[in-house]
Amino acid sequence: MEFDTGRRRFLEIAGTGAALSLAGCNAQQTDGETTETTGSNGATVTVAVQPDQEQLQQREDEIRSQLESGNISQTEAQEQFRTAQSELRSAAVSSFEEQAAESGLTIEDSIEQFSVLLVSGPATALIDALSFEMVNGLLPAETFQQAKDQVTTQTATDTPSN
SS (H, E, C) the chain: CCCCHHHHHHHHHHHHHHHHHHCCCCCEEECCEEECCEECCEEEEEEEECCCHHHHHHHHHHHHHHHHCCCCCHHHHHHHHHHHHHHHHHHHHHHHHHHHHHCCCEEEEEECCCCEEEEEECHHHHHHHHHCCCEEEEEECHHHHHHHHHHHHHHHHHCCCC
Nearest CA to 82 out of 110, 51, 37 is that of 51
Determine the residue type at 106: T
pLDDT digits (tens, 9 = 90+) for 30-43: 333 333 444 444 89
**Degrees to nearest 5, angle at CA 46 with 43 and 2:** 170
Q: 55-86 pLDDT, tens per residue?
A: 999 999 999 999 999 999 999 999 999 999 99
| pLDDT recorded at residue 94 | 94
On whether the pTM is more than 0.85, the answer is no
Mean pLDDT of all residues in the chain?
80
